[in-house]
Structure 1
């Protein structure tokens, strides 16, 4: 279906690239400069990268995660990862527009390329979600940037080939930067979609725009039953650029979000919640907005992927070039963030929990901001 909400401006100047915390260039100006933030929930108790309890071997309970192997090499900016019922994965490449099937033995089988995907800046072919009913409907959902918008489409997997795409939801504002792009089915069977504010911060607070939001839709693209506004797909607003979604064992939704120049965020997402951007970056203490559970200086994180496994959240960092492990309490509090693999594998884009209990972790060193090795980009398998 076509969105019934207003579409924000598509055209952005190349100077807006500076707005990403994943770069070292000057950020775009904030609407409000949060200079008085004395109580940010920062990971000040974080040990040295990779440090864990003394004497605990890697990959054991309480110990640091362990890279079991490099599953795949030579990919071009792998962005979305989701698993099929047989344990193999579907992976998207942002720049090439290819959709790949990757076996547990590392065998790569191209399924096809998504027509209409336009790679530029941070845009292109982004997230992928496997239908909860894949065994009967053989359907994949994809998030991509076209020359006019961002949109969610679906396509059937016909044998070993991806079929024609059908639009599920379009009219999401697109830009050179801040396109969101993570999609995932929640425990409720609805499809959650993250969008960025495309470098136009005001859109994040505009309830009539799909930019700077987390959306919740049915597999057919309609606003999901139980949304704050029954006629709108918007689930939460006030986001700058969410690229990570994960549900914990109690069904709580968590999101990792790019900050501007000071604080990246981990948020516990509430129905109808307003997360403050651009009026607040980090924890502002204003009751009108929901403060993040944790924040990081942007050079330590620039978070993208987020997963829940082994009783912890796992958050991949781009500029931070590390994997964060975060404890989650029974009452939904995030704490004790610990960093691993600092600078060892470069920029880390996506982390997902595999059916066998391992994590799949993708690098993003060929995205124009990293320093790729001849092996990049890679998918690593990690014992949490």
Structure 2
């Protein structure tokens, strides 16, 4: 059943700098920082090589408008959400042929808001449900829609059923990434909508990572009883991924100094707005790696071949962060710098393959011929 949660106060505009705009000049260096505890004692893990590689295997699809979320279907095709058009398009994984399934009702695109992350139900083989995170006229919310492939294309997408509402909205910092974890619970990265005070307020849904059941109820075992809040003190989370040991990682936009990759522990405080990047103050969970904001502005992340791969918007590059447990085992390494422009979403495609989605038609990029596109990568 629908879970209706009241939101804290929110702002439609924000005075702080945008996640994805041009930052002021600063020393641009990527660095590793103090990390969370590593894997359980006695658990041997293979350390990936310090230097990796990326090969662009092919361009899967072109001509996409403001693509944001991507969800691979069991047959190898891809579902892609358009932030500004509020549509979901099916892309043939072999030919790249695009079929628009329809517009999602209730979406109110503005600024960084619109139709954002999408995910398949963990029971998709039987329930055929697609989940979507979007900005409405009043809030950010999560809905699910029945997807019936046997019908004509424009009738395949069912009406949205709201499973969670009340996430603060703003012109900026709407979060938007959703993903089902290995525990089959639904996780959502939210932003503080430009109101920095929301991040430290555990009663607010803004500036958090949320964990809930597929029906939108607070998940069993959450750190704050009766609450969907899983971690707090975030500025704007747009990347979620798990490693094979079921450890959660999240990317986070900084304001003017440091973007972050975090190892997420339930109930922990990630510092915003008191801390941006590594902090020597007690009580904050420090990032495992951090970047100047002109080198990253990270959105989606994925785990493959022993590393987290992080798409950079302002940085126009793909970052590789090799891991051992929840620590970076070597310095982050950049790929595809300035080759494809802004990079929005990266999704594991199995083994050494990734799907990568560009974001040059979002109003902040410099679109080239055939933008935006989906690429297939081979990585190690």
Q: Match for 2:145 among 155, 180, 183?
A: 155
Q: Match for 1:366 among 346, 358, 361?
A: 361
Give, in angstroms, the shift of residue 26 of structure 1: 7.0
Partner of 1:268: 263
Q: In terms of mean alpha carbon deviation, does 316-325 or 157-166 score higher?
A: 157-166
Paired with 1:145 and 1:93, the residues of 2 have a C-alpha distance of 12
Give, in angstroms, the shift of residue 119 of structure 1: 1.0
* Unpaired segments ≥5 residues, structure 1: 28-39, 45-59
Asked whether the 8 Å contact 1:19–1:26 carries over to 2, the reply is no
**2:74 aligned with 1:88, yes or no?**
no
Q: CA deviation digits over 1:99-146, x for unaligned, max 9? A: 111121112121111011111110000000101111100000000000
Q: In terms of mean alpha carbon deviation, does 361-370 or 158-167 score higher?
A: 158-167
SS of aligned partner of 1:264: strand
Aligned length: 353
RMSD, matched Cα: 2.0
Asked whether the 8 Å contact 2:260–2:290 carries over to 1, the reply is yes
Paired with 1:61 and 1:339, the residues of 2 have a C-alpha distance of 12
Partner of 2:219: 224
**2:128 aligned with 1:138, yes or no?**
yes
Alignment of 1:249-268 (within 5 A): 249-268=244-263
Q: TM-score, normalised by structure 2?
A: 0.89
Asked whether the 8 Å contact 2:163–2:215 carries over to 1, the reply is yes
Q: CA deviation digits over 1:218-238, x for unaligned, max 9? A: 000000000012310000000
Asked whether the 8 Å contact 2:288–2:326 carries over to 1, the reply is no
Q: CA deviation digits over 1:173-232, x for unaligned, max 9? A: 100000000000000000000100000000000111100000000000000000012310
Asked whether the 8 Å contact 1:81–1:92 carries over to 2, the reply is yes
Q: CA deviation digits over 1:54-74, x for unaligned, max 9? A: xxxxxx995420111111111
Q: TM-score, normalised by structure 1?
A: 0.88
Partner of 1:33: none
**2:67 aligned with 1:67, yes or no?**
no
Q: In terms of mean alpha carbon deviation, does 93-102 or 175-184 score higher?
A: 93-102
Asked whether the 8 Å contact 1:20–1:258 carries over to 2, the reply is no
Asked whether the 8 Å contact 2:11–2:193 carries over to 1, the reply is no
**2:292 aligned with 1:303, yes or no?**
no
SS of aligned partner of 2:244: coil
Q: In terms of mean alpha carbon deviation, does 117-126 or 100-109 score higher?
A: 100-109
**2:331 aligned with 1:336, yes or no?**
yes
* Unpaired segments ≥5 residues, structure 2: 34-48
Cα distance change, pair 378–185 in 1 and its aligned pair in 2 (3 A)? same
Q: Match for 1:214 among 206, 209, 214?
A: 209
Paired with 1:41 and 1:288, the residues of 2 have a C-alpha distance of 24
Give, in angstroms, the shift of residue 270 of structure 1: 0.1
